[in-house]
């Protein structure tokens, strides 16, 4: 039996998993204490680090805890294109005094992280970039874990449902960071969230949460009225007191120089939405698809830009509604949403 039903949330607000720093145990625990739900992001962590963060979040709150895993995906990188892009990044090397990292392919420690969540039993485990096999899904459910698939099209929703997941998170095109698109070679779907939500709800009896560009109480109310059992927000919590967002990320989100978000593959080799900055302008046309190879290659350059305090040289992930972002504690922000 599943451990937790999304329809049982006292407050139908989910703090989205945000890999790379923002999703601290403190952020996740604060969401639970406020009556919502938080998800730890396992992306780029080792399995051991994930286990430590689950334990830390458990120590801070006694309510439901979610963990997000990056599902394995095919390697679509072209070695010649990756090598060419490394050469084209020479101006960034000169600017920041850092060399590109070694491009490499991996599955983000998938098997070991499945073992961690099966052992530590968070109430929910969600998946991005794909989903578990039917056998993997059943394994987690047998441990009392609710399984949630992130989907961006009706076809993905149907594929996820066929594996036996307990719930879906329907993610629209306004989402910040990487979309959950299953096919890494495909440009993210542009179907508006309200249309996608209606389409998925017409084809499933599973509980469905809505995500992507949501920032306000009106956004939450609209998705609930459309049939979603909860609204998932990420960008809305990037400036929360408990968030692990870097000072550079925080400053850029309120800097009037940055006026729009765009979808780019320049930083990671996979399509993601962030503030349009110099790096994107200079390199998007050159950047090949190839995740996580490009992610690892640009990583040292992005880290050097952050050390230099330069938001124009690193990814500043944000959804389309970033101008409506608020500061304060997680509890205070959730209070503005309901």
Q: Looking at residues 102-125, what average pLDDT do you find?
A: 98
Tens digit of each residue's pLDDT (9 = 90 or more) over 144-175: 999 999 999 999 999 999 999 999 999 999 99
Torsion of CA 114, 120, 121, 124, to 10 degrees: -70
Check pLDDT > 70 for residue 249: yes
Q: 188 with 181: CB under 8 angstroms?
A: yes
Q: What is the mean pLDDT of residues 120-139?
A: 98
- Band of residue 3 on the pLDDT scale cut at 50, 70, 90: confident
DSSP 39: E
Rg (CA), the chain: 19
Say if residue 27's pLDDT is above 90: yes
Pairing of strands 146-151, 167-171: parallel
List the structure tokens of 119. 């052992």
In terms of pTM, does the model score above 0.75? yes
pLDDT at position 190: 95
Q: Which residues pair with 177 in a beta bridge?
A: 273
- For 36-78, write each residue's pLDDT tens digit: 999 999 999 999 999 999 999 999 999 999 999 999 999 999 9
Residues 32-41 pLDDT 10s: 999 999 999 9
pLDDT-based confidence at residue 2 (cuts at 50, 70, 90): low
The pLDDT value recorded for residue 1 is: 46
Task: Judge whether 308 and 251 are in contact, CB under 8 Å.
Answer: no
Q: What is the pLDDT of residue 248?
A: 98
Q: What CATH number should be reported for the domain whose range is 6-72+107-238+324-335?
A: 3.20.20.70
Residue with tokens 């779907």: 189
Which of 276, 288, 86 lies closest to 176, judged by CA? 276
Q: Which tokens belong to 26?
A: 């403190």
Reported for 189-197, long-range contacts at CB under 8 A and 24+ positions apart, including other chains, are: 189/152, 189/153, 191/153, 193/223, 194/222, 194/223, 194/226, 196/152, 196/153, 196/154, 196/170, 196/172, 197/170, 197/172, 197/223, 197/226, 197/227, 197/228
Q: Name the helix (H) or strand (E) containing 302.
A: helix 293-307
The residue ranges of every structural domain in the chain are 6-72+107-238+324-335, 77-106+259-315
- Is a pLDDT exceeding 90 seen at residue 264? yes
């Amino acid at each position: 039996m599943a451990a937790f039903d999304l329809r049982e949330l006292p407050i139908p607000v989910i703090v989205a998993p945000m890999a790379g720093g923002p999703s601290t145990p403190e952020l996740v625990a604060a969401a639970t204490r406020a009556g919502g739900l938080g998800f730890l992001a396992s992306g780029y962590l080792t399995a051991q680090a994930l286990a430590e963060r689950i334990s830390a979040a458990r120590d801070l709150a006694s309510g439901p805890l979610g963990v997000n895993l990056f599902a394995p995906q095919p390697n679509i990188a072209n070695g010649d294109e990756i090598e060419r892009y490394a050469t084209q990044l020479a101006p960034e090397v000169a600017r920041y005094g850092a060399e590109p990292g070694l491009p490499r392919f991996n599955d983000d420690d998938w098997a070991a992280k499945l073992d961690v969540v099966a052992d530590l039993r968070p109430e929910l485990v969600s998946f991005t970039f794909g989903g578990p096999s039917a056998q993997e899904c059943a394994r987690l459910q047998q441990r009392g874990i609710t399984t949630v698939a992130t989907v961006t099209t009706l076809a993905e929703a149907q594929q996820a449902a066929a594996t036996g997941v307990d719930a879906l998170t329907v993610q629209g095109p306004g989402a910040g960071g990487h979309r959950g698109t299953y096919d890494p070679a495909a440009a993210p779907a542009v179907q508006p969230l309200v249309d996608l939500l209606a389409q998925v709800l017409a084809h499933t009896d599973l509980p469905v949460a809505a995500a992507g560009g949501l920032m306000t109480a009106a956004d939450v109310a609209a998705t609930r009225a459309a049939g979603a059992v909860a609204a998932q927000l990420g960008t809305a919590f990037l400036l929360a007191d408990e968030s692990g967002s870097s000072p550079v990320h925080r400053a850029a989100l309120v800097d009037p120089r940055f006026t729009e978000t765009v979808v780019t593959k320049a930083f990671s080799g996979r399509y993601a939405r962030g503030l349009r900055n110099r790096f994107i302008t200079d390199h998007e046309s050159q950047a090949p698809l190839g995740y996580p190879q490009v992610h690892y290659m640009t990583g040292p350059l992005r880290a050097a830009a952050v050390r230099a305090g330069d938001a124009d040289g690193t990814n500043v992930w944000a959804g389309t509604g970033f101008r409506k972002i608020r500061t304060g504690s997680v509890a205070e922000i959730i209070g503005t949403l309901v």
